[in-house]
Amino acid sequence: MTFVLVVDDDAAIRRTLSINLRAREYDVETAGDGRSALQIVAERMPDVILLDLGLPDIDGVNVLKRLRTFTQVPVIVVSARSEPDDKVEALDLGADDFITKPFSIEELLARIRVSTRRSGSDGPPLRLELGDLVLDITESQATRAGESIHLTPLEWKIVETLARKRGRLVRQGELLQTVWGPGFERQTNYLRVHLASIRRKLEVDPGKPVHFITDPGIGYRFEP
């Protein structure tokens, strides 16, 4: 399920986008200001961000600048600003797309689909069968005995990073930088929280994991 972060100071727009996106089976979170948006990104990396430029605390341009210091997550600027200079500045700073308000929801959905396709995994297809647990890394699908298991986009990024280096130690700093981006190498609490959730969902006995192994103080390994 694609995770979309909507950043806009207009509560009506946040509500409208949230309703429309959820109706089309997107996972949606909203933020009304730049600081809240950056905090959400730090805790749970979205698959795509819809970013308004006219925010009440940190201007959207500066939010974009900060994002591009640590992540290449697709950013679609959604703004009432329509001057060519505004569009050029946003695109030069790393925005993937720019759509002007008012807009049709169908056009926005098309742009989201394009942005997420561009940012898809470049790794080779990977599907693992571990007893009755099947992890289709390429398609972000997990099942146990045929029953679907839901993982968040961020959990999938962790699982994929470990699974593509299966059997090898992935150090905490490397995993944090791969999943969250530069600047997060010391946020080891993020890993503890998310690995605990992954084990609850994917391990038969989360207290005695056999696939997602911790090397205390060093890193993590995925054992098929």
Instruction: Report pLDDT digits (tens) over 178-200.
Output: 787 666 778 898 899 999 999 99
Q: Which domain holds residue 112?
A: 3-118
Cβ(212)–Cβ(198) below 8 Å: yes
d(CA 96, CA 48): 10
The average pLDDT across 84-108 equals 87
Closest CA relative to residue 199, chosen from 222, 166, 170, 172? 222
Average pLDDT of the chain? 88
Number of domains in the chain: 2
Looking at the structure, do residues 99 and 142 belong to the same domain, yes or no? no
Kind of pairing between the strands at 97-100 and 75-79: parallel
- Assigned token pair, 94: 């790393």
Looking at the structure, do residues 84 and 18 belong to the same domain, yes or no? yes
Dump pLDDT digits (tens) for 117-164: 665 544 556 889 999 999 998 888 999 999 999 988 788 889 988 998
The average pLDDT across 68-97 equals 85
Q: What share of the chain has pLDDT > 90, as a percent? A: 50
Looking at the structure, do residues 166 and 208 belong to the same domain, yes or no? yes
- What distances in angstroms separate CA 149 from CA 1, 23, 143, 213, one per listed residue? 12, 20, 5, 20
Predicted pLDDT of residue 124: 59
Predicted pLDDT of residue 122: 46
Q: Return the H-helix or E-strand segment holding 109.
A: helix 105-118
Looking at the structure, do residues 41 and 79 belong to the same domain, yes or no? yes
- Assigned token pair, 26: 């997107």
Kind of pairing between the strands at 212-215 and 170-171: unpaired
